[in-house]
Chain A
């Protein structure tokens, strides 16, 4: 066992990468453990190959972790208008309960984590979404305010090279975006004009994609496939931003394919050392500071799995809140054919957004808002396979002519919404299934409450109305969280709070139970926000936590 590092960080996604950079930049030597591999853009991202459309996520060995699921809720037939379907397959779910779509929990293990596959929306949280309980009597308050995070938001935006418009409504800013917004795609323009006729305010989305060359990285060339991995390097995934900067300090040791298994507490609750496995070899390393940033599924799993006689409920869990308060993406998308629209496959995904309904009171009769965005590229309607698989039914000449005639005419409205925590939604350990190292799999329990159903109804109605106004002749596909569990954004399983009784970490991200254990991922979110993409908030929180570690304001 050795002690060569000032801090160990587990996970190199949005939170871990940002933490590592901030610590290294301030002189600390950091060991960054990443369970997955380092992706090689020229080899792993297939957008230059003829079969590019067949692969969405970069798939390499050990680049996804196995999870399991608890029983999903039965579907209420009275809400059938919210079912997922497409023109080719018909109903996507044929049973009578919710199902995971694909892997259910969409994530990437690898240097950069799930930012490798994110579209790159770069959002600040609505200030009022952080005070849901005290102002609106629902959900949970954050122990910090928007003002506490604001300088860190700006810092992250500068480092990443976020492109966005000046006007941001309630999200006040002390510094401008470093880059101007991107040009509107044909699909984005169409939604803007239709939205304005309906009294909706659509604007350029703030995006972690370069609208101009920046910091040694080239500008986006608008291929529309951010989620398949960006070979250009303009997308602000954590590997080309925070990790790159951290490595430039010379103080980062990055260990790929290294799975953290054990945390060893010592006197006073401090975590004295950690044990990880790389290949077949197990390593143990001492650390003065441990930062967990493995995401809202793996971080609670790790804490729960590290049970002992002294900690029968796992580590950092005297509150018994580890794994509770699980929140997920409440999503919806509607797609229609707009005959006089062309080239909807080109441009930046999610280039336009509508924040009108995003505040906690943005949707009638329910607390918690949502946002709408242009979704046609994000949901993969960018190539002929997608059209033949989902949009044009049948076979023979009609199929081939249909693909040719419809291609580029799809217009999609996407939406994400608030998810309020409930008792049924949580992450625990699977009692029967273990991974290759003998650690129980994380088991996801998901339940949509009535507030989520109400929001979904609103999102579906608004999306359909917008498509009609945009000139859609027919709806061809709808997907939503009512019958599909398909979570790209997950939150809340190690909630941040002032009270050690009701939360896992304090306002600095430090465990109430272990003075040198911090968490820097979305598991600390007390609320999900009204549909904002979480990566920027994860990173801003991580920088704030890192600063508190360095300044010694908390623990030592």
Chain B
């Protein structure tokens, strides 16, 4: 499925989920000014999804978190889901998700990725993962280790090919 359409499809699913749960689809969510706790939690979650390694930076190194907050400010459903997801993440330990050991963060996310499709942790995981990888890999700084070094045009990929 096409990436942008996949995200649209997921957003539609999220909207339907909110309706089914009796939650307002676009509440008065002030994602333009997320709290410092939310920002820290979300960045930690994104960096666990897309960590720094020898070939490319982490999600927050590439400012994926800032771009997703910007998206959240434009889309009430997405903003609502991020806010609920961050709340949920911070209930998983004794403090902030950001303060968990990396191995514990991974355990939490593994649980989310296999949890009930109809509950917030899974929807949050799926939609944020999808949006994060779209944003991350739209940045050439993420392409380290890949055989592509530039967008397809203007050079194309002239033959001969191996």
Contacts and interface: CB of A to CB of B under 8 A. Distances in A.
A82 interface: no
Given A48-B154, A346-B161, A389-B130, A384 B143 contact: yes
A394 B49 CA distance: 8
A221 B156 CA distance: 5
B85 to A, nearest CB: 14
Contacts of A388: 133, 136-137
Contacts of A152: none
B161 A382 contact: no
B7 to A, nearest CB: 9
B151 A47 contact: yes
Contacts, number: 144
Interface string A211-250: 0000000001111110000011000000000000000000
Interface stretch (A12-20, A49-57, A131-139, A414-422): A49-57
Contacts of B148: 345, 383-384, 407
Given A53-B137, A380-B2, A231 B153 contact: yes
Interface residues of A, number: 55
Given A55-B4, A102-B2, A403-B146, A396 B106 contact: yes
A237 B8 CA distance: 28
Interface string B127-151: 0011001101111101101111001
B6 A389 contact: yes
A131 to B, nearest CB: 37
Contacts of A94: 117
Greatest chain B CB density within 10 A among A49, A223, A382, A396 is at A396
Contacts of A363: none
Nearest to A486: B1
Nearest to A342: B162
Contacts of A222: 156-159
A-side interface mostly:
loop
A382 B138 contact: no
A223 B154 CA distance: 9
B61 to A, nearest CB: 12
Interface in B14-49: 48-49
Greatest chain B CB density within 10 A among A86, A185, A389 is at A389
B51 A397 contact: yes
Interface in B90-135: 106, 109, 113, 117, 126, 129-130, 133-134
Interface string A51-85: 11111100000000000000000000000000000
A278 interface: no
A399 B156 CA distance: 27
Nearest to A228: B152
A47 B136 CA distance: 17
A383 B137 contact: yes
Given A48-B153, A53-B3, A384-B148, A396 B51 contact: yes
A224 B157 contact: yes
What 7 A-B pairs come out closest when comparing CB atoms? Answer: A221-B156, A223-B152, A346-B157, A102-B5, A51-B138, A47-B153, A388-B133
11 contacts: A47-B152, A48-B151, A49-B151, A53-B138, A92-B1, A222-B157, A343-B157, A345-B148, A388-B136, A390-B1, A399-B50
Interface of A: 45, 47-56, 86, 89, 92, 94, 101-103, 183, 185-186, 220-225, 231-232, 342-343, 345-347, 380, 382-386, 388-390, 394-397, 399-401, 403-404, 407-408, 479
Given A220-B156, A396-B51, 14 more contacts: A52-B152, A52-B153, A55-B4, A86-B1, A89-B6, A102-B9, A221-B155, A222-B158, A343-B147, A384-B148, A385-B138, A389-B130, A407-B147, A407-B148
